[in-house]
Amino acid sequence: MKNKDTLNLDGPWALGEEVFEVVIDELKEKEVKRFVEFGSGSSSVRLSQAFENADIYSVEHDEEYAGKTRELKENYLATDNLKIIHAPLQWQKLDGRLYKSYSKVELPDDLDAVLIDGPPYWTRRGREFCMYQVYDKVRKGGKFFLDDASRLDEMKIVKNWLSLYPNSFECKRYKTKKGLLVLTKKEHVRRKSMSTTSLIDNWSTNLRHLVSNLIK
């Protein structure tokens, strides 16, 4: 096994060392058994090293990147606690709203933490759908980490989450380079089937995306 210090998280498209440290600090007093990461890479291996007694599920839409993460796993991990899942992007429909995000994957119940650092920004609301895929599987007290939380798109995503899961989360923001939001699941609530906030945002976002592609 090679030294984990060579797995730099401050490179292009990487999670960032600052964010990684916050994630570790937020979970240091928790007994983490199951952790899901949307978007794979060096961070997948680092998480597996940090939580070697936990099962880490890393979901990746790009088959080439998934392959590179498997190579990192082979070169740097002494344990076999990292599971890399290839889930191509596809359009998903939910209560009259459309999202381009990861295809459905099989994940365990009683998740302790979820890190959302994918899919790419150009999917617009692809990261938003990650919450809808796993919310019911996250235990009470579990945490969601949203990277790039200072971007306008991510701010709107959070607004949509809070409108569909009222009174479910305790929110905490960290002033990292790109912003990090930590949502702690205080109460398990049934997702609202409809929210004017999320519906208007979803359709206006998809319409702008369609128009921009047509005029290119």
Residue 168's CATH number: 3.40.50.150
Residue 207 lies in a domain: yes
**What pLDDT score was predicted for residue 78?**
86
Residue 12 lies in a domain: no
Strand partners, 55: 34
pLDDT in tens, 67-77: 999 999 999 99
Residues near 8 by beta carbon (within 8 Å), at least 6 away in sequence: 14, 17, 42
Residue 193 lies in a domain: yes
How many structural domains is the chain composed of? Answer: 1
2 pLDDT band (50/70/90 cuts)?
low
pLDDT in tens, 11-41: 877 899 999 999 999 999 999 999 999 999 9
Residue 2 lies in a domain: no
Residue 11 lies in a domain: no
Residue 46 lies in a domain: yes
Residues of the domain holding 154: 18-214
Single pTM value for the model? 0.94
Q: Coil, strand, or helix at residue 188? A: coil
Mean pLDDT of the chain: 93
Residue 9 lies in a domain: no
Residue 178: C-alpha distances to residues 43, 120, 148 (Å): 16, 14, 5
Residue 113 lies in a domain: yes
Q: Between these two residues, 207 and 132, which has the higher pLDDT value?
A: 132
